[in-house]
Structure 1
Amino acid sequence: MKQILSVYEIPGGMWLIYLGSAAFAFLGFAIGHLLQNYFLSAVLSGSFAFFPMMAVKLYWLYKEKQLNATLEPSLNSITSSYLRGSGTLIQAVEENVTQLPSPLKQVFEHFLFEVTHVDSSVTDALEGMKLTIHNRIFHEWIDVLVQSQTNFNMKKNLTKILDKFADMRAVEAEVNTILEDARRSYLLMLAISVAMPFFLCIVNQDWQEILLRSTGGKLLIAAFLMGVFVSCGFIFFAYQRALSKE
């Protein structure tokens, strides 16, 4: 979590997460208190506390996926310029940096600033770029660029590295199909499970009294919602792992 917040350079980011978690935990406790179900208060406060962290991770995954979609055309343009003639990598980046989309544009602008104003070592600046973009193919592309600084013949391997993006798109499409089918099935079962207690309360007044008034009923509702939140957590982490491996 700290690594994610440091990438976006959010001042006091962890404190904002802590405050958000505390606010959501209080909200969950208040809902349980209003329903006079303290078992539910414990479940909701504990579950709601994770909402800010999950939201940040989902946003991170979304931005990473968005960034990966722009990598292939951007790296292709830089590679084409680099392979054309006897120009240097710096010249190739300078030719294309203005056409790059954000945040890739900022990454390569920082690379140019490093090699022209801070440290003339292209290798060190290239290695530093790995810390800003978490993509396996991009890291392989950087490794070949580093090798090409001492072995000019390594430049020809750059196009082979970029060809891997086509394979990645095929895998991504397959993973997205599997995730979408699983998500629909899970949401359908979740909707049925959540609607069932409400249906029982509507059709049978005695069930409503048992679920809302008795200690056993309150405990049953709390246990049921705990199961719902636990299953949501498993789905979230499975979704996160699947996206991070695309």
Structure 2
Amino acid sequence: MIGFMRILAFILYILGIFLLLKLEPLEVIQELSKLFDSKTHLKDRILLAQGRKKKNIFYLLIEETQNILKLNGKEQDFPKVCILSIVLAVVGLLFGFSISNYFIVPVLCMGMCTIPFVYIKFLGIRLKKQQTEELETALSIITSSYIRCENIVMAIEENKEYLNHPVKEVFDQFVLQANLVNPDIKKLLNNLKVQIDSTVFQEWCDAIIACQDDGALKSTLLPIVKKLSNIRLVSVRLDALLYAPVKEFISMAILLVGNVPLMYVINRTWFEILVYHTAGKLVLAISAAVIFVSGINVIKLSKPIEYKR
């Protein structure tokens, strides 16, 4: 109870500092989030490029969250996600102290702070699938128009009304720059290539760039677009297999957590050992750690199918 009161006093102390200095929590989080965008040292960048050094799992989660929000046009919501993460971490901290289980305190604190990032990453899987479907439609109609007129800007302009989010904004920006800013189509296509994270789209952009020098190469465009159709067909067939690990994880997590109150009903002695004794507290902490780590790994297994060159 004393530990709980100290944590509560610390939180009130931090809130008091914010009020006295008239600081906006969102602005503070935005400044802190810039730390993740800072460039790494040259040595670290070389090791990462060589595959001899891997990024921290929490850094990767934060980086992927930023990319997903940016892809969805909601990068301004990243500070809110960080605030929610901090709030959940504090809730986990207070819950651990309230049950006097000091083993589970760091586990809940670290695990619950990752929940918003893991959730957005799971939503990013659906967004990636939607992006592939919209990209298939967009590239199909744009390619057909380009083969007819051999002008990529005109081909996109003719079909802008048929494009949907999240690819519409990318092509709209390309047309705007081509007409008003920079007439260098090759340079604009190279910039366009990195706007969408898709190997097939990047291959299509390379083929369009090659067509600017040799119009006969436009025959290579349709086979590239067909790869997206193949991805969609395979994805439809394997959807059940892709989401099977998620369903199994949710079932096992519910069974594991549900066993604790179940013991209270079935055998009060077992429940007291689990909650009040040191060995039982350690078992609860290990179980919580397994749930959080397994959740992150399950999301990795559920990523959508992609074509690799």
Query: TM-score, length-normalised on structure 1?
Result: 0.88
Unaligned runs of 5+ in 1: none
Q: Does 1:78 align with 2:142?
A: yes
Alignment map for 1:1-246 (pairs within 5 Å): 1=63, 2-7=66-71, 8=73, 10-11=75-76, 13=78, 15-84=79-148, 86-239=149-302, 242-243=303-304, 245=306
TM-fit CA distance, 1:62: 2.4
Identity %: 27
Residue 163 of structure 1 aligns to a residue in which SS?
Answer: helix
Equivalents in 2 of 1:189, 1:156: separation in Å?
51
Q: Deviations over 1:98-155 (max 9, x none)?
A: 2211232211111111111111011111111122211111111111110000101011
Q: Deviations over 1:63-103 (max 9, x none)?
A: 2221111111221111111112x442211111111221123
Q: Kindly provide the amino acid, as one letter, of the partner of residue 272 in structure 2.
A: E
Aligned residues of 1:212 and 1:218 also touching (Cα < 8 A): yes
Distance 1:238 1:92, change over 3 A: same
Of 220-229 and 55-64, more deviation after overlay is shown by 55-64
Distance 1:9 1:235, change over 3 A: closer
TM-fit CA distance, 1:52: 2.4
Aligned residues of 2:132 and 2:228 also touching (Cα < 8 A): no
Q: Kindly provide the amino acid, as one letter, of the partner of residue 76 in structure 1.
A: S
Q: Kindly provide the amino acid, as one letter, of the partner of residue 223 in structure 1.
A: I
Equivalents in 2 of 1:9, 1:128: separation in Å?
21
Aligned residues: 242
Q: Deviations over 1:170-212 (max 9, x none)?
A: 3323442212333333333333322223322211111122122
Residue 38 of structure 1 aligns to a residue in which SS?
Answer: coil
Q: Kindly provide the amino acid, as one letter, of the partner of residue 119 in structure 2.
A: A
Aligned residues of 1:141 and 1:158 also touching (Cα < 8 A): yes
Unaligned runs of 5+ in 2: 1-62
Equivalents in 2 of 1:12, 1:186: separation in Å?
28
Equivalents in 1 of 2:262, 2:135: separation in Å?
50
Q: Kindly provide the amino acid, as one letter, of the partner of residue 45 in structure 1.
A: C
- Residue 11 of structure 2: aligned partner: none
TM-fit CA distance, 1:224: 1.7
Aligned residues of 2:136 and 2:229 also touching (Cα < 8 A): no
Equivalents in 2 of 1:170, 1:191: separation in Å?
33
Q: CA RMSD in A?
A: 2.2
Aligned residues of 1:61 and 1:244 also touching (Cα < 8 A): no
Residue 304 of structure 2 aligns to a residue in which SS?
Answer: helix
Q: Deviations over 1:208-238 (max 9, x none)?
A: 2212222222222122212222222221222
